[in-house]
Amino acid sequence: MDAKTKYGIKGAEDFLRSVRQNEFVIYLQPKFDTQTEKIVGAEALIRKQIQNKLIMPDQFIPFYEKTGIITKLDMFVLEEICKLQKKWKEEKLPLLPISINESRHHLKNKNHIVELQEIVTKYEARTDLIELEMTENTVIEDILVAKNAAESVKKLGFIVSMDDFGTGYSSFNILKDIEIDILKMDKTFFKDLEKNERARIIIETIVKMCKRLQIKTVAEGIETKGQMDFLKQVECDVVQGFYFSKPLTIQEFEEKFLKNMEKL
């Protein structure tokens, strides 16, 4: 048995065992309107909980990526988010848009659109409140495939965003060819913002360009008031980061945000 097959079987076994034992837990990290600082949505981030130990995605996602089983994990997350939307509807809580991360493995899978459709139909989910995040690196691998995938999911009503923009060989061709709705600028852009004028000019220009392209901008990994003040000034639309909140359990998220918001 070659290493790949061995990994494949091991990865699949590990994933199925974790599902059976209810080890996967979804955390939600809130996103805020930059100007009003009001909550406007959240990102679903997966963790494994084994007894009292929380295992972060960098400990298992690379392994699942290698084996391809990551697609099953992403569909598991989508299904859980659809269930959550249904629960919020029933409890008459505000329905906030939630983003989920999509692995590169989905792009070439022709069955993916059918899978997405089956899940949202099963839960009568509102796809206009579900955002699918593709990473910049995924898109750059094959722009044509990514373009077709984005068009297909947009036909189902999903919001499409590009995650981790600025971590790869950022190609502006992507923005020319693919009609994404949201651009998430990676935290590395904002690291030394206060000392680095060039970084400030680049961010300001990206935000301006996105406005003209009608793409919403999200700044990721915001940790300081200085970063926040700058993003307000350049009119970036949305911020996500520890400055406001770390990722929370669903229960914490509901208590802290949804139950305090005006009922719809």
Of the two residues 92 and 217, which places its CB atom closer to ligand C2E in the complex?
A: 217
180 binds ligand C2E (CB under 6 A): no
Kindly state the smallest distance separating residue 258's Cβ from ligand C2E, in Å: 20
Of the two residues 80 and 163, which places its CB atom closer to Mg ion in the complex?
A: 163
Which residues, including other chains, have CB under 8 Å from residue 20's CB and lie 6 or more apart? none
Reference 162, options 124, 190, 135; nearest CA is 135
Region from 82-90, 191-199, 208-216, 217-225 binding ligand C2E, contact rule CB under 6 A: 217-225
Kindly state the smallest distance separating residue 86's Cβ from ligand C2E, in Å: 19
Axis-axis angle for helices 3-20, 70-90 (nearest 10)? 20
11 binds ligand C2E (CB under 6 A): no
DSSP the chain: --HHHHHHHHHHHHHHHHHHTT-EEEEEEEEEETTT--EEEEEEEEEEEETTEEEPGGGTHHHHHHHSTHHHHHHHHHHHHHHHHHHHHHTT-----EEEEE-GGGTT-TTHHHHHHHHHHHTT--GGGEEEEEEHHHHHH-HHHHHHHHHHHHHTT-EEEEEEETSS---HHHHHH---SEEEE-GGGGTTTTT-HHHHHHHHHHHHHHHHTT-EEEEES---HHHHHHHHHTT-SEEESTTT---EEHHHHHHHTGGGSPP-
- Beta-ladder partners of 163: 135
Of the two residues 41 and 221, which places its CB atom closer to ligand C2E in the complex?
A: 221
16 binds, among Mg ion, ligand C2E, none (CB under 5 to 8 A by kind): none
163 binds ligand C2E (CB under 6 A): yes
192 binds ligand C2E (CB under 6 A): no
Of the two residues 186 and 254, which places its CB atom closer to Mg ion in the complex?
A: 186
Which residues in the 122-151 window bind ligand C2E by CB under 6 A? none
- Contact residues toward Mg ion (CB under 5 A) are 101, 133, 163-164, 220
Of the two residues 57 and 168, which places its CB atom closer to ligand C2E in the complex?
A: 57
Supply φ then ψ for residue 19, to 5 degrees: -65, -45
70 binds, among ligand C2E, Mg ion, none (CB under 5 to 8 A by kind): ligand C2E
Residues in binding contact with ligand C2E, number by CB under 6 A: 23
Region from 14-22, 56-64, 168-176, 200-208 binding ligand C2E, contact rule CB under 6 A: 56-64
Binding mask 231-250 toward ligand C2E (x if CB under 6 A, else -) reads ---------xxx----x---
61 binds ligand C2E (CB under 6 A): yes
93 binds ligand C2E (CB under 6 A): no
Rounded Cα distance between 158 and 160, Å, is: 6
- Interface with ligand C2E by CB under 6 A: which residues? 29, 45-46, 56-57, 61, 70, 73-74, 77, 101, 103, 163-164, 187, 220-223, 240-242, 247
